[in-house]
Amino acid sequence: MMLRRILRFLLVIVFTGAGIGLSYYYLPNTIAGFVIETPVMRYGAIGIISSLSGFLGIILAPGIVDKIVQVTTWFEQRLIKMSIQEIVGGAVGLIIGLIIAYLLGAAVSWLPWVWVGGVLKIVVTLMLGYLGVSVGTKRKEELLSILPRFGRERSTKTEVKQTQSFKILDTSVIIDGRIADICKSGFIEGSLVIPGFILEELRHIADSSDLLKRNRGRRGLDILNKIRKELDVMVQIYDQDFEELSEVDSKLVKLGQVLNAKIVTNDYNLNKVAELQGVKVLNINELANAVKPVVLPGEEMTVQVIKDGKEVGQGVAYLDDGTMIVVDGGRKFISQTIGVIVTSVLQTAAGRMIFAKPKPGDKKVIDQDTSSSFDEVKIIG
């Protein structure tokens, strides 16, 4: 906001100065039949014209500033996507193009019409400047090979730098908390990017009147502090906001496109939207499913039946990682620990489900609570 105000103020000054300069040098002696006879009248007319010019600047300044900011933002995004070699190559190409344009401009200065020579100089300068930037960025390797150190050593450094990747964290994955354990394990490479609008959303959640939301928001902020202070991971705060977009998910996708980064999330809808727009996504729910122990049909395991299943006679048990096991005929073994044989494994978008049946001929049905109570009674007796 401060930068916009400064730009508007400068534009008003420019408009006012232009009004003063033009009226001082080009003010006619007669305006609409009114003859300017004395210096006082002339300076008064200059003051009126410069005031009108300044007022025009006040009216036009906001629109001009918006256009300047849009062009600057577009140019900044293009520079972010470019490597150092491309930037330097474009700058060298621009310098070479302007030198050639200057030499050609001197060649057309002999033309009899001054305005024709001026227009040709401007056109030649713009064309050769654009061609220099374009050729410099596209043929950067050949152009920079003139400088041995820059062409070889720096190109190697640039290639190494380009291998570094950015991972953008979503609000849901920060609140989830598992991202800290994943970073601690060393499976996350590159830099973690925390957008400013994500921090703002976490702050709003942490200040919510709802107790559950407030606790979730504070947990997310604690997780970020833990990642920044305790873990050996590069964390960057990205302050640029996309004011033209209202939804946070849309801003995340846009930022992923700008930085050519991957989005880390556990939001299924954001996952699909980002993939449709060409942004890669790392879903920690999919990672959790991928690292679960592999269970094959025919394997035996010992589980504790917790509750009834949906179908008649079924019982439900769970592994330590939360995987559901549906035991056919396990209803009568509720609250007991039994041996089962895996019959099939079903992988769904929500997770994995294992189907099993009680181990045939296994008379060893263990009910720890009942067994311990029975032993106590037997000892007392």
Q: What is the pLDDT of residues 300-310, one digit of tens each?
A: 888 889 988 88
Q: Would 366 be classed as within a structural domain? A: yes
Amino acid letter for position 246: S
Residue 159 has pLDDT above 70, yes or no: no
CA angle at 275 for the pair 350 and 175, rounded to the nearest 5°: 55
- Are residues 329 and 236 located together in one domain of the fold? no
Q: Would 203 be classed as within a structural domain? A: yes
- Are residues 137 and 77 located together in one domain of the fold? no
Residue 158 has pLDDT above 70, yes or no: no
Residue 54 has pLDDT above 60, yes or no: yes
- Are residues 11 and 52 located together in one domain of the fold? yes
Q: Would 225 be classed as within a structural domain? A: yes
- Are residues 64 and 97 located together in one domain of the fold? no
- Are residues 154 and 96 located together in one domain of the fold? yes
Residue 358 has pLDDT above 50, yes or no: yes
- Are residues 245 and 338 located together in one domain of the fold? no
Q: Where are the alpha helices (DSSP H) in the chain?
A: 2-26, 39-81, 84-107, 114-138, 140-144, 148, 155-163, 171-176, 178-185, 196-206, 211-230, 248-259, 268-276, 284-290, 368-380
Q: Which residues contact 180 (CB under 8 A, 6 or more apart)?
A: 223, 226, 227, 231
Residue 304: CATH number of its domain: 2.40.50
Q: Would 138 be classed as within a structural domain? A: yes
| Best CA proximity match to 65, nearest among 13, 20, 135, 11 | 11
Distance CA 2, CA 93 (A): 35
Q: Would 18 be classed as within a structural domain? A: yes
Tell me what pLDDT residue 42 has. Answer: 73
Percent share of the chain, pLDDT over 70: 78
Tell me what pLDDT residue 377 has. Answer: 36
Residue 242: CATH number of its domain: 3.40.50.1010
Tell me what pLDDT residue 67 has. Answer: 85
- Are residues 92 and 117 located together in one domain of the fold? yes
| 121 in Cβ contact with 105 (< 8 Å) | yes
Residue 260 belongs to domain spanning: 164-290
Of 25, 54, 81, which residue constitutes the final position of a domain?
A: 81
pLDDT band at 373 (very low <50, low <70, confident <90, very high): very low
| 165 in Cβ contact with 190 (< 8 Å) | yes
Which has the minimum average pLDDT: 24-28, 238-242, 289-293, 333-337? 24-28
Tell me what pLDDT residue 315 has. Answer: 92
Mean pLDDT calculated for residue range 192-201: 88
pLDDT band at 138 (very low <50, low <70, confident <90, very high): confident
Q: Would 174 be classed as within a structural domain? A: yes
- HSE (CB half, 13 Å, CA atoms) of 296? 1
DSSP 231-285: SS-EEEEE----TT--SHHHHHHHHHHHHT-EEEE--HHHHHHHHHTT--EEEHH
- Are residues 194 and 221 located together in one domain of the fold? yes
Tell me what pLDDT residue 380 has. Answer: 34
- Are residues 219 and 233 located together in one domain of the fold? yes
| 264 in Cβ contact with 167 (< 8 Å) | yes
Tell me what pLDDT residue 69 has. Answer: 80
* Total number of domains constituting the chain: 4
β-sheet bridge partners, residue 302:
339
Of 81, 99, 116, which residue constitutes the final position of a domain?
A: 81
Residue 369 has pLDDT above 50, yes or no: no
Categorise residue 33: left if φ over 0, alpha if ψ from -120 to 50, beta otherwise: left
Q: Would 117 be classed as within a structural domain? A: yes
Tell me what pLDDT residue 316 has. Answer: 92
Which has the minimum average pLDDT: 129-133, 174-178, 366-370? 366-370
Of 163, 184, 213, which residue constitutes the final position of a domain?
A: 163
- Are residues 40 and 136 located together in one domain of the fold? no
Note the pTM of the prediction, 2 decimals.
Answer: 0.45
Mean pLDDT calculated for residue range 276-300: 82
- Are residues 314 and 249 located together in one domain of the fold? no
DSSP 141-176: HHHHTTSHIIIIIIHHHHHHHHH--EEEEPHHHHHH
- Joined together, the tokens standing for residue 155 give 């190109």
Q: Which residues contact 377 (CB under 8 A, 6 or more apart)?
A: none
Amino acid letter for position 288: A
Q: Would 277 be classed as within a structural domain? A: yes
pLDDT band at 351 (very low <50, low <70, confident <90, very high): low
Q: Where are the extended beta strands (E) located within 279-323?
A: 281-283, 300-304, 307-308, 315-318
Mean of the per-residue pLDDT values of the chain:
77
- Are residues 177 and 61 located together in one domain of the fold? no
- Joined together, the tokens standing for residue 38 give 């004395």
Distance CA 49, CA 31 (A): 12
Mean pLDDT calculated for residue range 122-151: 69
Mean pLDDT calculated for residue range 127-133: 79
